[in-house]
Structures are given as C-alpha cells and as structure tokens.
Amino acid sequence: MLGPGKADLLEGIREAGSIAAAGRAMSMSYKRAWSLVEEMNAAFGEPLVSSSRGGTRGGGAHLTKTGEAVLSHYRKLEQITRAAGEEQIGAIEDLLGDMSVNE
C-alpha cells in the first residue's frame, strides 16, 4: 500500500501543491501519478491527498492530515530500519563486487 515511490510522490505533492507537477518531477506520467494517488486514497481509511480542479489558480492538491501522518510515519520507519539494519547491510555490502563500492 505504501513504498518509496508513493512516499516520494506524497512528498512531491506537498512541495509542489499539484499531483501533475509532483509526478513530472519524478518523470512520471500524469495518468500514473493520479492512479497512484487514487490507490492510496482508496487503501486508507481517509484520503491522503485532497485535490481540486479548475478555479482561478487552476486547481491544486495538498496532503490531508492523514496524508501528513502517513508520510511522517513512513519517513520515520525508513530512518529507524536503516539504523537498525546498518550492521547487516554493511555485511552484505562487504560481499559486493568492486563496481558497487562507492567510497
């Protein structure tokens, strides 16, 4: 229901104030960005993104309170799991070939 791509899209919508603009910044088609938003809005108890079409400013989109909460929990989850998994990730990286070593 939520992964790195959708989380980035939510963050982009918060920054850009527009689903289309957030999708464009991720090289995503308008259709794809809307489809992901609709999936998320349907999956959660309340919509994560609220959008309006038309009007003097040409419509726009913003995260709902639930959307902000979900994004915040997801980013925290990433931080926590990255820190917790550091040792095992390091062990796997040690076994990777030279081409994968960046530093």
* Alpha carbon of residue 17 to chain centroid: 14
Binding site for a copy of itself (CB under 8 A): 1-2, 42-46, 66, 69-70, 73-74, 76-77, 80-81, 83-85, 88-89, 91-92, 95-100
Closer CB to a copy of itself, 57 or 87, in the complex: 87
Least Å from the CB of residue 38 to a copy of itself? 13
Residue whose C-alpha is closest to residue 22's, from 61, 55, 50, 48:
61
Q: Which residues pair with 49 in a beta bridge?
A: 63
Least Å from the CB of residue 79 to a copy of itself? 9
